[in-house]
Amino acid sequence: MKRTLITIATAALATLGTATLAHAQHDQAAEACKDDAAKLCPGVKPGEGRIMECLKEHKSEVSSECKKAVAKHRRAKRRGGKEEADSGSDQ
């Protein structure tokens, strides 16, 4: 019984760590794209992916910093939140 509880607790902590990392990378992407969103999408209401959709529509005008942060976030999301070793972009 004790071993089962330890296994469950370990799995729960690993899941929490993965979710926390993915959330942190989302926040980094949001910060990196803040100025682009303000400039390119001034009337777009945040939420439900509307800002990201607007930035996609203006892809050629988005800063390289924003593109890199979004690419890193997408890679982490595809890998279940696991941090990626390389810092290349996925544009």
More confident residue, 31 or 4: 31
pLDDT in tens, 20-55: 556 676 788 889 999 999 999 999 999 998 998 999
Confidence band of 73 (pLDDT split at 50, 70, 90): confident
Is it the case that residue 86 has pLDDT exceeding 70?
no
Give residue for tokens 């890679």.
75
Which pair of structure tokens corresponds to residue 70?
Answer: 């979004």
Contact 33, 55 (CB under 8 A): yes
Residue 14: what pLDDT? 44
Residue 81: what pLDDT? 53
Nearest partner of 82 among 9, 7, 38, 19, judged by Cα: 19
